[in-house]
């Protein structure tokens, strides 16, 4: 009976099946899978090429950290792993003619607030202004610092970046409190960053902006992939809704995967030139020297330099605490007062031997006098460390999105970022 009815009404049973079955052709599905692999493989190839080109250069057959006789024509190779990570030999002096903030930028490729603060401290050490520790105006017990321009400028020419900082800090004034700069100094920080990035490019340590991440190539790839993903998604949804056809799903999956790969890894760090790698290794060697220095192993002239011209480098490297330990050791030396020359750039306020402000050198020149100010000779660097922390705090970018890398961005369009590769 059932067979008779089915034979008499074949379409009554055939139509529901024809409407609900998935219309997936095997050849079409295999072709879609292969097609979906194409954008993923292309994205992977782009990432691989960028990783290969993002590796630092290094000179051939030269001791790491040294320059060959003719650097411009010397053979070079790419560093395995991206950047050199071997053992550094201690260097007993900072890189010649390279200031602390610039050294910090070359070492990690970032011009951060600490590099700018180290530059300010270096300018004070070199005699451009004095730092006087004072009480806060609003909170008497709070610590503040007053920057006092030197009566006569040193016999040297500051770099454009350093001159910018001096002009922005004082703005025609002879004295200014550090706390008074808070809130208005953020844009100066961004200008300072651009100055640091410009110097490392102009001096050949990077071929282009250190924070450029090949954004143009990634942007073009995303501009192509995003529309393709949207169009393919519409086709897949339409096919599923009309005929349960999901043949194009592999293409959509491949496009989405390629989009993720390119968005996540499509950028690449800017590599250092071989000259930049040599400078970085030399700077790391000096950092190793400062980090492992012991007072009883230093020559007399090195002790003196350590407490003056080397201090900004220690600040840039984050080694202020180790300097405090060195002070404790040096305080045991009978020639202690000989090691404090050149420290009159930092004053503690109060009254010194001549009735003026008590300088760091005055305080350290006589252990008895110093002990009346500090319970521990190592505490003398506490004020310097506090100054650096307060200086770092000036460079806040709240409300200035996109300003952190020193390149033009929406809401932070300051002129002057015209370096090669500044194409985030």
CB 130 within 8 A of CB 118: no
Residues 6+ apart with CB under 8 A from 12: none
Tokens of 64: 């790491």
Closest by CA position to 214, among listed 262, 260, 274: 262
Tokens of 44: 């992977």
CB 124 within 8 A of CB 344: no
Phi, psi angles (nearest 5°) of residue 52: -65, -40
Residues 6+ apart with CB under 8 A from 286: 90, 91, 92, 93, 94, 95, 313
Count of CB atoms within 10 A of residue 204's CB?
A: 15
End-to-end CA distance of the chain: 77
Residues 6+ apart with CB under 8 A from 283: 91, 94, 95, 98, 103, 106, 107
Task: Characterize the bridge pairing of strands 143-149 and 175-177.
Answer: antiparallel
Residue-level pLDDT, tens digit, the chain, 424 residues? 434 444 444 444 444 444 444 455 666 778 888 888 888 888 888 888 878 878 899 999 888 988 999 998 999 999 887 888 888 888 888 998 899 999 999 998 888 888 888 898 899 989 999 888 887 655 555 678 889 999 888 889 998 889 988 998 898 889 988 888 877 677 777 888 888 888 999 999 998 888 776 566 677 777 888 888 888 888 888 877 776 777 778 888 888 888 888 877 777 778 999 999 999 999 999 999 888 877 666 655 566 666 678 888 988 888 877 776 776 676 666 565 555 556 677 776 654 444 445 555 555 544 434 333 344 545 556 667 777 777 777 665 433 334 445 444 333 333 444 544 444 3
Count of CB atoms within 10 A of residue 290's CB?
A: 21
Going 399 to 402 to 406 to 412, the CA torsion angle's sign is: negative
- In the chain, where the domains are located: 100-213+269-416, 215-265
Tokens of 180: 């008074």
């Amino acid at each position: 009976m059932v067979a008779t009815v089915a034979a008499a009404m074949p379409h009554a049973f055939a139509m529901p099946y024809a409407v609900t079955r998935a219309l997936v052709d095997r050849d079409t599905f295999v072709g879609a899978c292969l097609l979906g692999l194409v954008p993923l493989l292309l994205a992977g190839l782009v990432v691989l090429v960028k990783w290969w080109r993002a590796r630092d250069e290094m000179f051939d057959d030269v001791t790491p950290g040294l320059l060959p006789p003719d650097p411009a024509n010397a053979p070079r190779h790419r560093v395995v792993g991206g950047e050199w990570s071997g053992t550094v030999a201690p260097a007993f002096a900072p890189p010649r003619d390279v200031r602390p903030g610039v050294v910090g930028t070359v070492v990690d490729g970032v011009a951060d607030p600490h590099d700018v603060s180290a530059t300010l401290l270096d300018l004070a050490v070199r005699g451009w202004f004095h730092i006087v520790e004072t009480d806060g105006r609003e909170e008497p017990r709070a610590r503040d610092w007053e920057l006092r321009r030197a009566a006569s400028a040193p016999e040297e020419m500051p770099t454009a970046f350093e001159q910018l900082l001096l002009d922005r800090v004082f703005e025609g004034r002879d004295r200014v409190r550090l706390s008074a700069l808070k809130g208005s100094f953020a844009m100066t920080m961004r200008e300072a960053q651009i100055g640091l990035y410009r110097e490392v490019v102009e001096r050949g340590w990077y071929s282009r902006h250190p924070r450029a991440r090949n954004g143009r190539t990634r942007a073009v790839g995303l501009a192509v992939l995003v529309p393709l993903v949207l169009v393919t998604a519409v086709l897949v949804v339409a096919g599923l809704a009309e005929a349960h056809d999901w043949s194009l799903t592999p293409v959509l999956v491949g496009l989405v995967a390629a989009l993720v790969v390119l968005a996540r890894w499509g950028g690449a760090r800017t590599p250092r030139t071989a000259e930049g790698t040599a400078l970085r290794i030399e700077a790391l060697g000096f950092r190793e020297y400062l980090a492992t220095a012991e007072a009883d192993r230093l020559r007399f002239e090195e002790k003196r330099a350590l407490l003056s011209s080397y201090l900004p480098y220690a600040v840039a490297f984050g080694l202020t605490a180790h300097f405090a330990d060195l002070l404790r050791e040096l305080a045991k030396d009978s020639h202690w007062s000989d090691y404090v020359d050149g420290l009159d750039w930092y004053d503690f306020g109060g009254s010194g031997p001549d009735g003026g402000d008590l300088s760091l050198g005055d305080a350290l020149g006589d252990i008895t006098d110093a002990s009346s100010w500090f319970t521990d000779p190592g505490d003398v660097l506490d004020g310097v460390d506090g100054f650096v922390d307060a200086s770092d705090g000036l460079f806040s970018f709240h409300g200035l999105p996109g300003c952190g890398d020193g390149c033009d961005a929406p809401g932070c369009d300051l002129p002057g970022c015209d370096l090669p590769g500044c194409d985030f």
